[in-house]
């Protein structure tokens, strides 16, 4: 991706923040927090919800996949289970994504950021053709950064931590976009342990040595691979509930957007 984004016409485009995370990591709460933060600063964002199955959205979306497709109807019509219903709904929505881009473009001059919430089942977005199409089309027009939300209290075990990092790594290499690891729920557990494991390989090996499961020998080998991955990341700790760390998050977005302009 070396070309200048096609539709910039020399104007500075608002960054897209693509929120991705495992089910229950706090994506929706985090979206609500950053949305409220931008409104409070009088720099409102443009908000897109791509989760067809979210029940109650605690913020107003400018574009909501649920206005276009009803995933329960899709399940019935195509005789699918819940995940198939969500995936098919996203596919149907993606066929109209050019219209979404037109709507965003009309507002791009007057918004600070474009916030995008993705389906709760992470793989529906990260490993589907429609997820790739949506990501690529956004990234060809706007400086796009991935915010990968992590449930910090649930990732304190070395093997779980490593699995989560490998997943994040696969998304980084698939999208090749600037990447921010957002350690959420730091009001419950601080993310310091994670920063330590990511910066001091021996500390992680030490933690892993207490893990006697079969998984740990695999993790031992994999952790060497991740060293290179860590060097490409930005890391922030936040609490979507208290708002702690949100300024750090936006500083990381600014840096990532500069990186995008330089490298893409």
What is the 8-class DSSP label of residue 5? P
Measured CA angle at 40 (ends 106, 145), to 5 deg? 55
Footprint (CB under 6 A) of ligand GTP, residues 110-139: 120
Q: Using the rule CB under 6 A, is 68 a contact of ligand GTP?
A: no
Q: Rounded to whole angstroms, how far apart are CA atoms 117 and 131?
A: 12
Find the part of the chain contacting ligand GTP (CB under 6 A) among 10-18, 34-42, 128-136, 183-191: 183-191
Count of Cβ atoms closer than 10 Å to residue 39 Cβ: 14
Provide CB contacts within 8 A for 112, sequence distance 6+. 14, 38, 41, 43, 44, 45
In this structure, what is the dihedral angle of CA atoms 48, 49, 50, 54, given to the nearest 10 degrees? 180
Does residue 83 belong to the site contacting ligand GTP (CB under 6 A)?
Answer: no
194's enclosing H/E stretch is helix 192-199
Judged by CB under 6 A, the residue of 131, 145, 182, 185 near ligand GTP is 185
In this complex, which beta carbon is closest to ligand GTP, that of residue 226 or of residue 253?
A: 253
- The residue (of 23 and 40) whose beta carbon lies closer to ligand GTP is 23
Select from 23, 40, 105, 224 the one that contacts ligand GTP (CB under 6 A). 23
Binding range to ligand GTP, per CB under 6 A, among 1-9, 18-26, 199-207, 214-222: 18-26
Report the residue number, 18 or 207, with the smaller CB distance to ligand GTP.
18
Beta-ladder partners of 46: 114
Q: Give the one residue of 208, 219, 235, 240 binding ligand GTP; rule: CB under 6 A.
A: 240
Query: Would you state the structure tokens that stand for residue 55, as one six-digit string?
Result: 């029940």
Interaction of residue 239 with ligand GTP, rule CB under 6 A: yes
The continuous run of DSSP H or E covering 8 comes out as none
Which of 40, 103, 129, 188: binder of ligand GTP (CB under 6 A)? 188
User: CA–CA separation, 230 vs 16, rounded Å?
Assistant: 22
Q: In the stretch 29-58, what mask flags binding to ligand GTP with x, by CB under 6 A? A: x-----------------------------
Q: Which residues of 200-209 are buried (b: 16+ CB within 10 A; e: fewer)?
A: eeeebeebbe
Question: Least distance in Å: CB of 119 to ligand GTP?
Answer: 7
Task: State the minimum distance, in angstroms, from the CB of residue 113 to ligand GTP.
Answer: 18
Nearer to ligand GTP, 57 or 159 (CB): 57
Q: What residues make contact with ligand GTP under the rule CB under 6 A?
A: 21, 23-29, 120, 184-185, 187-188, 239-241
């Amino acid at each position: 991706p070396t070309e200048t984004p096609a539709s910039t016409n020399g104007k500075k485009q608002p960054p897209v923040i693509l929120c991705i995370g495992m089910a229950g990591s706090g994506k929706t709460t985090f979206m609500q927090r950053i949305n409220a933060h931008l409104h409070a600063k009088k720099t409102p964002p443009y908000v897109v919800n791509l989760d067809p199955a979210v029940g109650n959205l605690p913020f107003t979306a400018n574009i909501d996949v649920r206005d276009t497709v009803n995933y329960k109807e899709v399940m019935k019509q195509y005789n699918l289970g819940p995940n198939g219903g969500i995936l098919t709904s996203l596919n149907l929505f993606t066929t109209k994504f050019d219209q979404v881009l037109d709507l965003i473009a009309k507002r791009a001059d007057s918004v600070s950021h474009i916030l995008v919430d993705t389906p709760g089942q992470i793989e529906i977005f990260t490993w589907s053709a429609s997820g790739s199409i949506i990501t690529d089309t956004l990234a060809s027009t706007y400086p796009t950064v991935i915010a990968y939300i992590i449930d910090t209290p649930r990732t304190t075990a070395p093997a779980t931590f490593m699995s989560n990092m490998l997943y994040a790594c696969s998304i980084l290499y698939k999208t090749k976009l600037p990447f921010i690891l957002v350690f959420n729920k730091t009001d419950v557990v601080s993310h310091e342990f994670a920063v330590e494991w990511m910066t001091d390989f021996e500390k992680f090996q030490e933690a892993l040595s207490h893990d006697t499961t079969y998984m740990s020998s695999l993790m031992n080998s994999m952790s060497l691979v991740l060293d290179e991955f860590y060097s490409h990341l930005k890391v922030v700790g936040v609490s979507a509930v208290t708002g702690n760390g949100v300024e750090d998050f936006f500083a990381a977005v600014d840096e990532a957007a500069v990186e995008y302009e330089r490298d893409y």
